[in-house]
Amino acid sequence: MKIRKAVICAAGWGTRFLPITRSQPKEMLPLVDKPVIQYTVEEAINSGIEQIVLVTALGKRAIEDYFDRCFELEYFLEQRRETKLLKRMRELSNLADICYIRQKEQLGLGHAILTASTVIGDEPFAVLLPDDIIESKTPALKQMMKVYEQHEGNIIGVEPISLEDTVKYGVIKPERISPRLYRVLGLVEKPKPTETPSNLGVVGRYILTPEIFDVIRVTPPGKNGEIQVTDALQLLLLKQAIYAYEFDGIRYDVGTPIGWLKATVALAMKRPDIAPELRDYLRRLL
């Protein structure tokens, strides 16, 4: 069955970015001249997704407003004859078919995915996390969707991580099928370096079957008292095959201030209208 729908989870508190996230959703922080959330939405659309379910929470209204029409701004730009900018703003509001669901309690990623169950229905779907921005010639999700066409089942995105970073990720126990594809034999959430089953960490891209919803409902709280999708996938593994795909691309972790700063500089350095001046400025700083 074709993957038509994607869930983008944007309901977290953003505590690592306090105090700015008291009033500004973390997903609306700018990366050069676009908010973080737009990169994720564009990846989904460029991968062929037809409908996006955006899971938000209290205080995230700015996300909904961003993708809506802004008639006052459009009128202003029209009066100023800013035709190119006006065109961009109208394209933004028509970027995707997006519906919004609120996660009323921050009970973990597994619970956030579960809130979208009534919209997803009985079909496979994708999950994207805005904290992971992936730059690649072919969108990372599209790469995974091609794998799904060959191995229908659950597919999770992974990448090699350092041993000291295993405490930050879900980690898989892999069985290699091909150079970038693995059968998942087990999953562990945030293991210690001495207990990790591999160096392949799960990053924010998933293709899941609808059976995951029933599994999440019976998954007990795990690390931090939250319903972890890694724990749910471990239970699902008893019933269905799970594959892991090592995507081709550069991932930027924008979920921390230092990661966001690195991503901002890296993406800006790839902009011909910005890079020369920024490069000179950085040289002067150093």
- The pTM assigned to this predicted structure is 0.91
Residue 138 confidence class, pLDDT cut points 50, 70, 90: very high
Q: Higher pLDDT residue, 76 or 1?
A: 76
| Mean predicted lDDT score pLDDT of the chain | 92
Domains of the chain, residue spans:
5-255, 256-286
- Where do the H-state alpha helices sit in 61-160? 61-66, 71-79, 83-93, 109-114, 117-120, 140-150
Q: Higher pLDDT residue, 37 or 80?
A: 37
Question: Which of 181, 178, 185 has the alpha carbon at shortest distance from 207?
Answer: 181
Residue 105 confidence class, pLDDT cut points 50, 70, 90: confident
Per residue in 157-204, pLDDT (tens digit) is 999 999 999 998 889 999 999 999 999 999 988 899 999 999 999 999
3-state secondary structure 151-212: CCCEEEEEEECCHHHHHHCEEEEEEEEECCEEEEEEEEECCCCCCCCCCEEEEEEEEECCHH
pLDDT at 14: 87
Specify the CATH number for 5-255; select among 2.60.40.1480, 3.30.70.380, 3.90.550.10, 3.40.50.720. 3.90.550.10
Per residue in 238-255, pLDDT (tens digit) is 999 999 999 999 999 999
Residue 92 confidence class, pLDDT cut points 50, 70, 90: confident
Q: Does 93 score more than 80 pLDDT? A: no
pLDDT at 140: 96
Q: Does 225 score more than 90 pLDDT? A: no
